[in-house]
Amino acid sequence: MTVVIAISGSEAHARKLATGLGVELVAPELRYFPDGELYVRLPRLASDEHVVLCGSLYPAPAERFLELAMLAGTARDLGATRVGLVAPYLAFMRQDVAFHPGEGVTARYFARLVSSTVDWLVAVDPHLHRLSSLERVYTIPTAIAHAAPAIAAWVRDQVRTPVLVGPDAESEQWVAAVAAACDAPFEIFEKTRRGDREVSVSGRVRSWNGHTPVLIDDIVSTGKTMIEATRALRAAGSAPPMCVAIHAVFADALGAELAAAGAAGIVTCNTIAHASNQICVAESIAAAARTFI
Ligand code: R5P
């Protein structure tokens, strides 16, 4: 038998996943002692279960990982036959190489920790930039749930005559998939990042008269990428773009600056709970998880 257990903050996802898989949802007792240590109990877990832990590793990815590790350890002690992780947002994918001498490649170290904690992994569109696949750093079987079908359905429903725009080279993987599903044209810009909050966007910027630009990126963190891409589009005379991101990290509050740059608004997928969530990716997640069950 298979059961789903939520990592804290991802109860809604876990419920949807259990429903999608047609399995039971088991509620953990998870709390912090006054000194910050974790208390974990799985009072209703039978032995011989295939346990699916479900949770976005954000916010506070280090804390979420510790919860994951403690839940996995408890489940195994109680006789779980397998323990998998469904992470709608998989953290620690940004530092995938050493950019400067002496830097740690945290994507690799985190992958090593997760690989020694669970038996398989599903993530929604992880940030695969310089890494061509999760297998480059994860040693367990992995599957990717794609947000593109749900984003394409939203664009078809909400935007008349769209042109899809990617702010940087790696966004082409999502932008091209959404454009194909919408039978719409797409453009990919070039981005130069000089710091956490310092980016510039350039490239062949056309005004696309008569089209509504839809900017698509995997992550909106400080929002600088969306803001600069919006500025580039508006400077070329385009209509206000609608910004769509898969993962609503929102490390900075960016609403006012994005509006001032000339965007029509921003919507996100529900991999990380946020007021901008309008696109549900539960179906893709359940389909990817089903390959392990
Ligand atoms: C980076 O390569 C990603 O695909 C996103 O473009 C990036 O994480 C967005 O970050 P920010 O919102 O801070 O510009």
* Number of folded domains that form the chain: 2
Evaluate whether residue 13 is within a structural domain: yes
Ligand 1 pocket check for 268: Cβ under 6 Å = no
Ligand 1 pocket check for 119: Cβ under 6 Å = no
User: What residue owns the CA closest to ligand 1's atom 3?
Assistant: 219
pLDDT in tens, the chain (293 residues): 999 999 999 999 999 999 999 999 999 999 999 999 999 999 999 999 999 999 999 999 999 999 999 999 999 999 999 999 999 999 999 999 999 999 999 999 999 999 999 999 999 999 998 999 999 999 999 999 999 999 999 999 999 999 999 999 999 999 999 999 999 999 999 999 999 999 999 877 777 778 999 999 999 999 999 999 999 999 989 999 999 999 999 998 887 999 999 999 999 999 999 999 999 999 999 999 999 99
Residue 196 structural domain: 148-270
Residues 13, 68, single domain; the answer is yes
Evaluate whether residue 276 is within a structural domain: no
Q: What is the predicted pLDDT for the residue at 192? A: 94
CA of residue 252 to ligand 1 center, whole Å: 12
Evaluate whether residue 196 is within a structural domain: yes
User: What residue owns the CA closest to ligand 1's atom 5?
Assistant: 219
Evaluate whether residue 205 is within a structural domain: yes
Nearest atom in ligand 1 to the alpha carbon of residue 228 is 14
Other Cβ atoms less than 10 A from the Cβ of 220: the count is: 28
Ligand 1 pocket check for 228: Cβ under 6 Å = no
Q: What is the predicted pLDDT for the residue at 204? A: 77
- Separation between Cα atoms, residue 126 and residue 80, nearest integer Å: 27
CA of residue 219 to ligand 1 center, whole Å: 5
